[in-house]
Amino acid sequence: MARPEGPFQFPRTFSLIGGVTVIAILYFGREVLLPFALAVLLSFLLAPAVERLERWKLGRIPSVLIMVTALFLGLGVLSYVAVQQLYDLAKRLPDYKENIAHKVELVRSNGDGALSSISNIFNDIRSGVIKNAAPASSQNTSGQPLKSTAFDNDDANGNQESKPRSRIGSPSDPVEDVAQMSGNGKTQEPVPVPVEVVNPISAREVATGFLGPLLSPLGNAAIVIVFVIFILLEREDLRNRLIRLVGSRQLNLTTQALDDAAFRVSRYLQMQLLINASYGIVIALGLFFIGLPNAVLWGVMTAVLRFVPYVGPWIAATIPLLLSLAVFDDWTRPILVLALFLFNELISNNVMEPWLYGASTGISTIGILVSAVFWTWIWGPVGLVMATPLTVCFTVLGKYVPQMAFLNTLLSDHQVLPAHSRFYQRLLAQDPEEAIEVAEEFLKTGTLEALYDSVILPALSLAEQDRHRGELDDAKQQFICQTVRELVDDLGSRAKQLATDSSESHALPNPAPEISVLCLPARDEADEIAALMFAQLMQAKGIGVEVASTRTLASEMLTRVAENPAGVVCVSALPPFAATHARYLCKRLRPKFPKLKIVVGLWTTAGSGKKAQERLTETGIDRFVTTLQESVEQATQFSASQKLNGNHVAENRIDAYIAQPSAATR
């Protein structure tokens, strides 16, 4: 029985099952994994300091113990101070009750305010609805008025005498009986009082109730401390085991991944700790001078909450702001509290973080938000604090492991599409504004020559490929060419204006350059647009260039070459059929003009146009180039050499062209 040619696999299904399994393990194993993950992150934070102490000849064990003791002792002191401040705040809160009530009354008593007006309108509407509903509720469904359920009419003459009516079919209310008895002068019997026997609480129960809630956090803290100590002591051995487990056959790649992850996470934690600590100190000092009670508590809380991405600082600012409204009689100091947080946030985000971080953590804004939601769902509030460093590790994993590349695509802040793909995609969507934004963004860090070579020419090449495959209709093709042509004209005008301004500032004349290069598009409109780019770059160097139109026939191009004084011809062609068209044109040029310098620009074919280059070389061309930069360099050299020979070159070329029989008469 014949075997199948290959194994029947479901890689996507296996990947999906593996991902679900990992998420399930993270969720259900959080009691064990959370302390371990926290210990790993703390090890990244402490490892550089431990290595520095080791370089000072303190030894591995003393260095680890010193750093771990310092870290957890500092956390303990901060926790103790925060608890004391919180206890002091709880004792002071009743003193602020009158101030809170006074400010609420001020807001409510302002009858001219917008809130009061809106409240009065709703009250009027509610009163009108109740009045309209009252007559309808006094009749039953048959239209007859309902009898009162609280009183009976006992007077035969129709005079209403109200007296309590007993409920039919239900025992009398004991409270009513007692009231009747007391009203008739009878002695009211005492109501029995329930008695509850309370057993004395033992010392064991007191200890269990007080220490029980603390046992779990203390146990987790002890586990984290033990993990941190052993990870720092055995970090080289753990690294080697991880390399052996993950990628012993690709040591270079695995080493790069581990070093990248360690550097990113360690730097992020160190800089974030430094920024948050300084932020908290500034907030504590500012609130102290403003006069807000328990300023140390708010500084510590702000420093801790700033580890929560985006929303942490504003959560930290909310409680001090509300407390300032309760503590202070005026509105000036609450405004100062708000201004303090706003000022610190602006300085931190725009000055401190770019200066200290240097390079980004490599995570996009959306990636941070998604990771925050994910890790909060998996591990709760601690997961929210650990979301960013954990996501950095997963981003590095996606960068170096091909099977996990989707993580890098989803979470990293790098552009997933190159500039030319984004430019072409926006043209396909008929969004010229955003396409121009892509070009403008590229020009902020790149040159016009690089923009043409790296963005616009590759985009035009993609459009030509889609058109020849029948995937691009004529209307969209015309829109793309028109948009690109207008963009190229605009960029050329701006470059020309800059050159003019520069020449005027130096009081130098700017005469029109003499035509020394003729650029011929091979066939399509995209070839002509590429020729216009070439002409702009040549003119920026002071070399005159003339561009022929695609409406010109091949025979007319030959006549134009003969009549033009240019000594250099550049043939512009774009894939996929650029080589064929350029070869056809060169085969007609070379026999007619043997001394003419011919440069063929087969754009965007670098590294893949060897066969095309060989075929074009057979036609007798002088140079083969794939970028505008190369074409400009070659054309400039040929133009300089032609100027040395004088204008008689063009005259001899015209005489030779007239003497030869035309293709139509052969």
- Identify the sign of the CA torsion 500, 502, 504, 508: negative
- Say which residue, 343 or 145, is predicted with more confidence: 343
Most confident of the following: 388-392, 435-439, 537-541: 435-439
List C-alpha distances in Å: 272 to 221, 348, 366, 368.
Answer: 22, 11, 20, 15
Please tell me the distance from the alpha carbon of residue 301 to that of residue 312, in angstroms, as a whole number.
Answer: 10
Report the distance separating Cα 480 and Cα 483, nearest Å. Answer: 5
In the numeric block, which tokens belong to residue 441? 């963004």
Q: What is the mean pLDDT of residues 519-525?
A: 87
pLDDT band at 554 (very low <50, low <70, confident <90, very high): confident
Q: Are 532 and 659 in contact (CB under 8 A)?
A: no
DSSP E strands in 128-258: the ranges are none
CA distance 607 to 339: 59
Look at residue 367 in the predicted model and tell me its pLDDT.
80
- Contact criterion met (CB below 8 Å) for 348 and 365: no
Neighbours of 337 (CB within 10 A): 24
In this predicted structure, what is the pLDDT of residue 266? 82
CA distance 543 to 530: 17
Q: Is 36 helix (H, G, I), strand (E, B) or coil?
A: helix
Q: What percent of the chain has pLDDT over 90?
A: 6
Q: Which residue has the higher pLDDT, 312 or 361?
A: 312
Average pLDDT over residues 232-250: 78
∠ CA 613-616-617, nearest 5°, is: 80
pLDDT at 174: 46
Angle at 175 between CA 170 and CA 176, to 5 degrees: 65
Q: Which residue has the higher pLDDT, 458 or 199?
A: 458
The residue type at 138: S
Query: Would you say residue 666 has pLDDT above 60?
Result: no
Residue identified by tokens 């005259």 is 651
Q: Determine the Cα–Cα distance for residues 487 and 489; give it in Å rounded to an integer.
A: 5
d(CA 84, CA 422): 57
Say whether 544 sits in a helix, a strand or coil.
strand
Q: Among 188-197, 219-228, 398-407, name the one with the lowest average pLDDT.
A: 188-197
The confidence score (pLDDT) of residue 376 equals 87
Q: Calculate the alpha carbon distances from 477 to 473, 481, 489, 526, 602 in Å.
A: 6, 6, 18, 10, 21
